[in-house]
Structures are given as C-alpha cells and as structure tokens.
Amino acid sequence: MDVPAKGGFSFDMCCRNGMMEKKGFKAPGFLKTGTTIVGLVFADGVVLGADTRATEGPIVADKNCEKIHYMAPYIYCYGAGTAADTEAVTAGRESRVVTALALLKSHLFRYQGHVSAALVLGGVDCTGPHLHTVYPHGSTDTLPFATMGSGSLAAMSVFESKYKEGLTREEGIQLVSEAICAGISDDLGSGSNVDVCVMTKGKTEYLRNHLLPNPRTYVSSKGYSFVLGQTEVLATKITPLKQAEVTIGDAMEE
C-alpha cells in the first residue's frame, strides 16, 4: 500500500548531491541574496522598511521589487533571503502577532535553516504594537528596533545612534528611511528605492517607493530616441599607433 505524500519540502536531492561529491563532482551551490530590512516601534504602532533590489548572484534581477508580505490585517513582515522561500513561508497566516510569530518560527525550525527566509515581523493587535525578528533556523528576538539582511549592520548603526522611545509617526518613518538608505549606500546587495509600511491600530499605510535615493543622473540629449543599431557617442579620441617591424627570425624566437 502506497503511503500518501506528505506536504512540505523534499530533500531527495541531498542524496544525489552527496553521491556527486563522493565521485569527485562539485555539488550545485546556491545563490546568496542581499537585502536591507528594518523595523521599529513608535508611540502608536510599528514602522517597517526595506530596499527594493533583488539579486541573482552578482546580477541585479529586479531594481524595484516588493519585499513586504501580508500576514493578517495590520500584521506584515519583510523578508530577506530567497524570494520563493520568503513568499512560501509567509503565505496564508491570519492571527495575532504573537501567534503569527509562533507559526513562522516553528515552520523554519522544522527545516533547520534549509529554508532561506530571514524575517522582520511587525504588527498591531488588541495587545498593542509588536516587532519581532525570525531567523532561518527558527530563533526569534523581540526588540524595539531590528535590522536583518546583508545591509543590517549599516542600518543598525543608524538605529543605535538615533532611536529613542516614544517616536512620533513622522520621526519613525524618517529614521526607518535613513536606516534603509545606509544599507543601500554601504551594501552591494541592497539598492534602488525605499519602501515603508506603517501600522497603527485599525490602519495600515504602505508607502511604495517612499524615497528614491539613487536617481539616474545621465540624461541623453536625444531623449533615448536612438536609431536601431546606433548608440549616442559622447566623446571621441583617436590615438595613432606605431607599427613595429618584426623580422621572421625574431617572430620565430618569440
């Protein structure tokens, strides 16, 4: 009798990879992504923020992606890691913030870090505003401000020097934006624009592309109306080359 397949991830390829390594082949690797995600608690709620760059190794795959994930009314989280993993882990969870936290960390702990999802979870429920971080292995933190991703150190330096209790909504948005800009400036895996999500009791505001810290500075005089197969020439420099005489004997010695 066949046993019905259970849901979840399949690790059948781990045996294949182990066999390849024993035979001298290099096992397939994974692509490390970069992100700056942050969050803080202010007087009336929670502010979350993220950059908008998605990478595939050294390539910028998407300059303006959305890294926010809806959990429940007034509960959202930003994800760092593999985009598919962060989407799958955060889908379809409706609960209080602490219950959403328990579901996320138990799911990640089950796979012992094989799911590449590092999360900043924030929300406001009947017990007030809450901010948590969830690591890929399932460990969690509950803090008044938090950062994750490859740009987290740059963002944390901003929070540690400027965060204070009782921030207003405007001060919280400004501080989150400044922290994300620090990650964009100092981390190659983070870039493009700043997204901000503000949650208060009974209200959520998603400020898409709240800041654009890296606008394109070069504007073509032709308005990018290039003829097919032609590119605008900005400058021309011609350097004459002297042809050296080489005998047959010299060429053979070389």
Active site residues: 35
What is the C-alpha to C-alpha distance for residues 159 and 145, in angstroms, rounded to an integer? 7
> b or e along 162-181 (b: 16 or more beta carbons within 10 Å of the residue's beta carbon)?
ebeeebeeebbbebbbbbbb
What is the C-alpha to C-alpha distance for residues 152 and 196, in angstroms, rounded to an integer? 16
Nearest by Cα to 52 from 89, 80, 94, 15:
80
